[in-house]
Amino acid sequence: MSYLRATIYSIFGKSPFEDVVKHGEAIYEVVKEAKNVFELFIEGRYEELEEAYKKVHEKEHNADRIKMRVYSELPKNIFLPVARSDIIELVDMQDKVADRAEDVIKLITFTRIESIPEEIFIKMKEMMELSLESVKVLKDAIEEVSILLKSSFGKKEREKMIKITKEVSKKEHIVDLKEYEVKKELYNLQIDPFIKVHLKEIITEIGRISDFAENTADILRLIASE
């Protein structure tokens, strides 16, 4: 059945996954820019954050435009190799990755955070770097979709995509462990309670970047397994 749907679609329509792949690339660019801006926060360059945040917002807005294009161009009158509902769910979940990255940058613009042990900032930076890695692997998995469709859901291509999506899960697990570690250290600090809560919120949002990357990878894995 997968072969039949892929063949019919290749004859009668433009693959919506062309824009899904572009959306994945746009999401990666959002997180990459967010990671660069986060380094300004780590270095205490607060005066540059507001302007730098605008770059993240612009890239996130560009990802939104691609998302809306996917929705508007999804055909309703021909067979798709992947269910329309699966494509929409995939793009929605992928979009949450960029939303969380933008939220991290919003949070670090709210107030100056000083007199915090360097180890906390170092681990937060490591979390951002690991989160970016998880989104990079997710982008690679999204790019494999086109190959999977061209192969009419061939076994080799399915196995390759499933392997890549499992790598996203591995990286998310590493971020989870780092999040637990840094939050434990944070709770033991004798600092302003407001700053402690604010830092905890930032750390949580960083962790959610890879959480949603893993959720997106799970959807891809289900698509490959159908």
Q: Is residue 139 within 8 Å of residue 25, measured between CB atoms?
A: yes
Place 160 in a pLDDT band, splitting at 50, 70 and 90: confident
Distance (Å, whole) CA 66 – CA 30: 13
143-155 pLDDT tens trace? 887 777 766 666 7
Region label for 153, one of left (φ > 0), alpha (ψ between -120 and 50) or beta (otherwise): left
| Residue 3: per-residue pLDDT | 47
Domain residue limits, the chain: 2-225
Place 226 in a pLDDT band, splitting at 50, 70 and 90: low
Winning range, highest mean pLDDT, from 82-96, 144-158, 195-209: 195-209
Distance (Å, whole) CA 40 – CA 160: 37
| Residue 14: per-residue pLDDT | 59
| Residue 85: per-residue pLDDT | 87
Distance (Å, whole) CA 168 – CA 110: 31
Distance (Å, whole) CA 103 – CA 59: 13
| Residue 90: per-residue pLDDT | 94
Q: Work out whether the CA dihedral 84, 86, 89, 94 comes out positive or negative.
A: negative
Residue 12 has pLDDT above 80, yes or no: no
Query: Largest alpha-carbon pair distance within the chain?
Result: 65
173-182 pLDDT tens trace? 999 999 999 9
Burial (CB count <10 Å: 0-12, 13-18, 19+), residue 51: exposed
| Residue 6: per-residue pLDDT | 47
Q: Residue written as tokens 């302003």?
A: 192
CATH topology of domain 2-225: Methane Monooxygenase Hydroxylase; Chain G, domain 1 (1.20.58)
Q: Is residue 26 within 8 Å of residue 102, measured between CB atoms?
A: no
